[in-house]
Structure 1
Amino acid sequence: MLASLPVETASPDPDFVVVDVETACSRVSSICQIGIVGFRGGAEVFAYETLVDPCDDFSPFNTRIHGISCDHVAGQPTFAHIHATIDAHLSRRVTVAHSYFDKGALAAACRVHDRSAIETTWLDSVRVAKRAWPELPSHRLNVLTKFLGVRHKHHDALSDARAAGMVIVRAIDHTGIDLAGWLAPANTRGGAAPKPAAEGPLKDERIYVLGGPRDGPLGLRLAQAGARVTASVGVSTTMLVVSNDQPFGRFAHASAPYRRAEELRRAGANIAILSEDELRMRIDAPSDEVAPARCVAG
């Protein structure tokens, strides 16, 4: 079993921190181990880990998962004793957890031990992984670390925290979406689709906007030109337009909607893939000068 590590007080201020907890029983407040890792510039800058006396029973089921029993936590600090340290690492920072189990466990432990809630900005690395690698059959941490080639000891709090942090680092590298982009709401489709004009150069077109809301400026412009702006890419889609403001950077071709459009095209569907600038030229061009739509290079 890992020994408790000292708090790193001289490390640079991290871009984000990652937390993982193990619990003694089915009560989520029964934290018996916690690991916290800070990342800056894609690299680890500090690590903190300790066993915790949960002041609760140990379930044989939980012990079989993580290997921690009541003997291991004898003489270890309680959550009340380490609350100030955890709060110092997490408060007013971006805190990553692989699913929100850890968020709920910390909140429950604060209530049970009569400590103030930890105020932080949470980011779920499961949600990040699902957007970055939608093709994977599972986004469990042990599956992701094997896929990414990251060393990992599952159900060890410090190792799990490091691994979840690397999921964020690799997702940023893979997609080009920075931390602020991952913190943005996942639903980018916006509100209801604008009503298409009865006539226009895009009449009868069904267009999906990659990287922008349906009711945003581009979606409104397309509707004014007669297009129906769709919520997803499907067999009836006739165009995918890559927004100038899309968050994927040079990796737009790796996004799920783009790949879906290419898949449908390979199956024989007539779907054009254009940049926003190319489509604006098509909308603004006189009807007798409209050139055939061409695909954006992948």
Structure 2
Amino acid sequence: MNLFKKLFRKSAPPPPPETAPTPAPQPPQDDTAPAPVCTPPESAQPPLSAADSPAAELPEAPLCPAAAPPPPAEPEEAVVSLPDLPPEPPACLTAFRRLELSSKRELLAFSSYVTLALETTGLVAGRDHVLEVAMERYEDGRLIGRFQTLLQQSAPLSPQVTALTGLTDAHLEGAPSPREAAVRTADFLGDRPLVIHNAAFVLPFLERFLGLAQLPGPVLYVDSLRLARRAWPEYRTYGLDYLVRRLKIAHQLPYRAKGDVLCLSALFRLTLTQLGRSGRETKLSGRFQPTPGVIPDPAGPLWQKRVVFAGALPGGLNDAMQLAADAGAMLRETVTAKTDFLVVGPSAANGAKARTAGALNAAGKAHITVLDEAAFLRLAGR
């Protein structure tokens, strides 16, 4: 037996060398943190007393790292529904196109229009704003309607504006907003051409103002300043205030749109009358102009009519000619196919001018109305 044991021991592999057992891995310890437990230590949670209310807010004891719940998932972004608001009008500028009225035919045909004047809070469009709008509407030369409104402002009026216009913030109480005023202005204007003075200043304000009403245009307009340069080339300047003083047009409301539009309408009628006199008969046109302060009526029967006088008149020939000029007539010296009225004195009833008018009418080349002095005075409203 001992022999077999020895042989067995020699044939069996030697056992592995003994090593010290490896301890199970332990989490690293923080010398400053308490030992991890499933509940907080007693020192972390103060005891409740009988006076503590169940609703009292107490600081929560910190949980151990092993028991701490995972951080909550990020909530999905909530969709906030805004109340329905009226859509803002698109930012746009109203387009304008100028009418030159360069011919007599255009001047005579231009009888339906709207005159417009603005009062603003300053001189720079975009920085300053429209404060007041005033308009007059004419059909066939006759005044048929007026429009005027103040506008609410986003800031108090400056002392300079108040001193110049006499308007205060109290005057603007109850005034429409700029957008509402723009819509009313566009409705009053319709499709009629505008008459404005000094388009270089007015148009930048009008472009933004009428753009609030989403009025794309183009809006036809006439610049009375350009026409005044043609009518009175000898004047040194053509501002509305200067022309009103020079032509003796009554102005009771300076620096207010509702006063300026009255002056603009009167100035425009005078300008049309002055431009309509151009022609070969410049001697009479220079001698007889409308009396200062007298505004011809575009709806009158003598407005822009060619009138010829023949012979002496009992009431005075020069007085009759001045009366015709005050009515807006175009005085001529000779009878032609374009003559509208022939005013004859007693001594010229069968004169050369009367015979020429009769021959033109008989040939169908003209429609000349022959008047004596009494008929002419009735036609002139005297």
**Structure 2-normalised TM-score?**
0.41
Q: Is the 8 A contact 2:112 2:140 kept in 1?
A: yes
Report what 2:272 is aligned to. 172
Q: Which residue of 117, 124, 143 corresponds with 1:20?
A: 117
Determine helix, strand or coil for the equivalent of 2:205. Answer: helix
* Structure 1 position 115, deviation (Å): 3.4
* Structure 1 position 114, deviation (Å): 6.8
Q: Is the 8 A contact 2:183 2:213 kept in 1?
A: no
Report what 1:158 is aligned to. 258
Report what 1:120 is aligned to. 219
Report what 2:162 is aligned to. 63
Map Cα deviations across residues 250-294 of structure 1 (whole Å, 9 max, x no partner). Answer: 565669xxxxxxxxxxxxxxxxxxxxxxxxxxxxxxxxxxxxxxx
**Relative to structure 1, is the Cα distance of residues 65 and 28 closer, same or farther in structure 2, using a 3 angstrom cutoff?**
farther
Q: Is the 8 A contact 1:17 1:96 kept in 2?
A: yes
For 2:271 and 2:256, the matched residues in 1 are separated by 22
Q: Which residue of 134, 142, 154 corresponds with 2:241?
A: 142
**Relative to structure 1, is the Cα distance of residues 162 and 26 closer, same or farther in structure 2, using a 3 angstrom cutoff?**
same
Select the structure of larger CA radius of gyration. Answer: 2
Q: Is the 8 A contact 2:182 2:209 kept in 1?
A: no
Map Cα deviations across residues 21-46 of structure 1 (whole Å, 9 max, x no partner). Answer: 11124553511111001234544321
Where do 1:93-242 residues align within 5 Å? 93-100=192-199, 101-111=201-211, 113=212, 115-152=214-251, 153-176=253-276
Determine helix, strand or coil for the equivalent of 2:153. Answer: coil
What is the count of residue pairs matched by the alignment? Answer: 172
**Relative to structure 1, is the Cα distance of residues 163 and 114 closer, same or farther in structure 2, using a 3 angstrom cutoff?**
closer
Map Cα deviations across residues 201-248 of structure 1 (whole Å, 9 max, x no partner). Answer: xxxxxxxxxxxxxxxxxxxxxxxxxxxxxxxxxxxxxxxxxxxxxxx3
AA aligned opposite 1:120: V
For 1:56 and 1:127, the matched residues in 2 are separated by 35
For 1:117 and 1:154, the matched residues in 2 are separated by 32
For 2:259 and 2:161, the matched residues in 1 are separated by 17
Point out where structure 2 has 5 or more consecutive residues left out of the alignment: 1-110, 287-382
Q: Is the 8 A contact 1:19 1:102 kept in 2?
A: no
**Relative to structure 1, is the Cα distance of residues 40 and 85 closer, same or farther in structure 2, using a 3 angstrom cutoff?**
same
Point out where structure 1 has 5 or more consecutive residues left out of the alignment: 1-13, 178-247, 256-298
**Structure 1-normalised TM-score?**
0.51
AA aligned opposite 1:169: R
Identity level (%): 22
AA aligned opposite 1:18: T
* Structure 1 position 88, deviation (Å): 2.0
Map Cα deviations across residues 63-106 of structure 1 (whole Å, 9 max, x no partner). Answer: 32222232211221012112222112224211011111222212
**Relative to structure 1, is the Cα distance of residues 135 and 43 closer, same or farther in structure 2, using a 3 angstrom cutoff?**
farther
**Relative to structure 1, is the Cα distance of residues 21 and 99 closer, same or farther in structure 2, using a 3 angstrom cutoff?**
same
AA aligned opposite 2:194: T
Report what 1:35 is aligned to. 134
For 1:131 and 1:251, the matched residues in 2 are separated by 17
Report what 1:48 is aligned to. 147
For 2:224 and 2:191, the matched residues in 1 are separated by 18
Determine helix, strand or coil for the equivalent of 2:131. Answer: strand
Question: What is the CA RMSD across the aligned residues, in angstroms?
Answer: 2.7
